Structure formats: C-alpha cells, structure tokens
Amino acid sequence: MKYNNQKYNICIEASPAVHKQAGLGTYTAGLIQGLIHTDPGGQYSIAYNDSDNVNLEHPYDKLLAFTSAMGNKPWRMRNALTYFGARPFDRAFPDVQLYHSTGHLLPKFKNIKTVFTLHDLIPLIYPEYHLPLNKIFLSQMFPRFLRQADAIISVSESTKRDAINLLDIPEEKITVVSEGVEPKFFPIRDPNRLASIRDKHGLPEQFILIVSTIEPRKNHTVLLDAYAELRKTHPDVGLVIVGKNGWMYEGFYDHLRETGLQKDVHLLGRVDEFDLTFLLSACTIFAFPSLYEGFGLPPLEAMSCGAPVVVSNTSSLPEVVGNAGITLDPKDVRAWVNAFSALLDDPQKRLQMSLAGQKQASKFKWEETAKQTQAVYQQVLGLA
C-alpha cells in the first residue's frame, strides 16, 4: 500500500488460501486477489506454514513470502506461545509494518501493527461441534487474539455482535467488511449444457442442492428429514449434497441409513469449480439449513448463479440473502417441507427469487472487500 509516496509492507496470512481450506481459504484468496487488483502498486507479502507441501500458484508466486515448514499443529502452538513468554514474531517478518491474520491465528508482535479477520465464534457458541483439542485451543486463544489485534475486521454484523456480547470487545475496534463472490459464479441457461452436468452426475431434472462440508453444525440431518417427507408428494425430485466429510460426520451417515434414502440422495463429495457453477445453475432450489454461519458464502454463490435459496434464519444468513431468499427456523422440518413444496409447484416464484437473488449477490464484490480492508489498514497505520 502506498500513501503520500511512501510504501507500506503489509503481510497477509495466506495459509488458508495456499492450503485450499474451504471458507477461510476462499476469503483469503478473494481478499488477496482484490488487493492486487485495486492496488497494483502496493507492497504486499504473504505468510504461510507447511511450506514443503505447498505448490504456489498465481498470484501468490509473485509475492514476497515468509514461510515456515512447520505443520499446522506445531505452527499453531508456536504462534500461541508468543502469548506465554516466547519471543514475539517481529524478527521473522523484517520490514513488515502491518500483519493481517485471516485464518484465526495471530502471533504476538512487539512493533508490527496487526489486523485480525474474525470469521465466526463457533467454538464458543457451539463447542459441542468442535473436536476437543481444537475447542480448547480456540476457546483459550480467541480472546487473546482479539484483544491483541490493533483492529478487527468482522465479516458480518452478526459476528460483530457475537464478539461484543461474548468477549466484551469494544465496538469501535471492529469494522464490518463483507466477503465477495467471484465472477466465475454466474447463471448458465443453455439447456444442453445443464443437461450435460445432470447426465455427468446422474441427477434428475429437478433437484435440491446443498453445498457444505458434512459436519453437525451444517444440519444436514434436518434436510434429510425434510426430503424424506417431501418425497411423498414430489417423488421425482432429487437431493444433491456437494462437500467433503468434515469433523464428526458419522452421525449424518447414520441418519441417512435410518431414513432409508441411501439410493435417493446423491453424494457428490468435492467437485471442481467448473462443475460447481453448473450445479448451482441447474438446481431447482438451493438449501442451506446451517445452525450458525459467520458469513455464509455458499448461498451467495448460489444466488449469483440464479438459484432460489432457502436458508436458516440464524446468525449472518439473513444479512447475506436479504429479501431475496426464504429464511426458516433450521430445526423446523415441516417449515422446510412446506417451503420446498411451494417453490417446486410455483415456477414463477422461483423465477422471481432467481432474479432477486442475482441482484442481491451483485452487491458483494471482492474489489469492494479489498477497498474497505485497505481503509482499515490506513486507520491502523495512522494514515487515515
């Protein structure tokens, strides 16, 4: 970043992006791309761990990189130890004026300014949905990270409220900067191309789609129950689940067997970006019954592709979909059944929601995320 002809070296934690993590990785990649696009003369660098297992792609290979060969667990501990007497990290980042944590991990510095992006406080709100060691680490370190940071970027108003209410973080320290949606997510309308993606994955003409890691917080079991009931009146509609297994996924498969829907639910696992855009364009309804989200990027990407979206009425999801989507109690199976039935029987309503969703999604751009983030950098560096 350049200000009054003076360049400031800003280092961005890039581990989530180069390791291709799901939500945090998408955010970090979108932010870095946005910063480079909106500030091409800026002096940006990146930091990441587990460097022996990273094959840097564009644009990361063009940036100065501060790296560590440590794997994730020892790297997290090394960062945490700076809060318990270990030497601050300044020496590892020479000539850096500001360090931006994007992956919920902030080492302590003596002279380097810091910005921390807070994606969510799930470990504190739903600790039962985290693995024990992860829960212990984050519950102990989250408050320290947030208090240590010179400024906090929250990805939603909902997450900002959580930080204020749960951890007593001063409101003036937090700036809300929404995430963006990539241009690759757009409506595909060619019927032949849409038929080809259905044929490729063996999908019916109409299907409900969810894109999400399979873990308890994502609430797939309610979707299974709703789908089992829906099939009584709409037997030809499919349910498609895109996403890899996350932690504590076993309960989902147990419930799938209990419902007897093994042969009717299409489990596609992880799909490539090309297929994902086609699936989002081809689906009849996009469903997202998550119990809690810090932001909720999948519904935004679905709206950008023209899919009518039905989401939970919790946390940040109403912010993301606005008036363009249907919001429901994530535990009310009957409400989900009714919403699905009404949309399946009303093509005109689906079209209205499709158009409204595209308009809503167009408000979220990574370039705007980058510009608002740069404003936070200027404030922290005393340049605003």
CA 163 to CA 209: how far, in whole Å?
A: 32
Domain membership flag for residue 109: yes
Domain membership flag for residue 185: no
Identify whether the C-beta of residue 23 lies closer than 8 Å to the C-beta of residue 297: yes
For the sheet containing 238-242, what is the strand order? 265-269, 238-242, 207-211, 285-288, 309-312, 326-328
In terms of domains, do 150 and 61 share one? yes
Domain membership flag for residue 163: yes
Residue 132 has a pLDDT of 82
In terms of domains, do 210 and 293 share one? yes
What does the DSSP 8-state code read for residue 111? S
Compute the average pLDDT of residues 220-224.
Answer: 97
Domain membership flag for residue 310: yes
Terminal-residue alpha carbon distance, the chain = 13
Domain membership flag for residue 186: no
The closest alpha carbon to 99, from 82, 115, 118, belongs to 115
pLDDT tens readout for residues 32-60: 999 999 999 899 999 999 999 999 999 99
pLDDT at residue 381 above 80? yes
In terms of domains, do 330 and 216 share one? yes
Residue 114 has a pLDDT of 98
In terms of domains, do 101 and 199 share one? no
To the nearest 10°, the Cα dihedral for 291, 233, 260, 223? -10
pLDDT-wise least confident of 39-43, 142-146, 327-331, 363-367: 39-43
CA 30 to CA 20: how far, in whole Å?
A: 12
For strands 238-242 and 207-211, give the pairing: parallel
pLDDT tens readout for residues 233-269: 999 999 999 999 988 899 999 999 999 999 999 999 9
In terms of domains, do 286 and 372 share one? no
Residue 5 has a pLDDT of 53
In terms of domains, do 145 and 244 share one? no
Residue 247 has a pLDDT of 85
Strands (E), 68-220: 98-101, 113-118, 151-154, 174-176, 207-211
pLDDT tens readout for residues 271-280: 998 999 999 9
In terms of domains, do 152 and 213 share one? no
**The 3-state secondary structure of 193-224, one letter per residue:** HHHHHHHHHCCCCCEEEEECCECHHHCHHHHH
Q: The domain that contains 43 carries what CATH number?
A: 3.40.50.2000
Compute the average pLDDT of residues 196-222.
Answer: 96
Identify whether the C-beta of residue 210 lies closer than 8 Å to the C-beta of residue 311: no
pLDDT tens readout for residues 302-341: 999 999 999 999 999 999 999 999 999 999 999 999 999 9
How many structural domains is the chain composed of?
Answer: 2
pLDDT tens readout for residues 155-164: 999 999 999 9
Residue 2 has a pLDDT of 56
CA 326 to CA 312: how far, in whole Å?
A: 8
Q: How confident is the model at residue 6 (pLDDT cuts 50, 70, 90)?
A: low
270: phi then psi, degrees, rounded to nearest 5: -80, 135
In terms of domains, do 275 and 163 share one? no
DSSP bridge pairs for 285: 208
CA 110 to CA 105: how far, in whole Å?
A: 16
In terms of domains, do 116 and 214 share one? no
In terms of domains, do 158 and 26 share one? yes
Q: Which two tokens stand for residue 301?
A: 């990407």
In terms of domains, do 214 and 348 share one? yes
Domain that holds residue 126: 2-180+365-380
Domain membership flag for residue 293: yes
The H-or-E segment that residue 239 falls in is: strand 238-242
Q: How confident is the model at residue 127 (pLDDT cuts 50, 70, 90)?
A: confident
In terms of domains, do 315 and 371 share one? no
Identify whether the C-beta of residue 281 lies closer than 8 Å to the C-beta of residue 194: yes
pLDDT tens readout for residues 206-217: 999 999 999 999
Residue 72 has a pLDDT of 93
pLDDT-wise least confident of 2-16, 114-128, 133-147, 289-303: 2-16
To the nearest 10°, the Cα dihedral for 10, 15, 19, 25? -70
Residue 3 has a pLDDT of 52
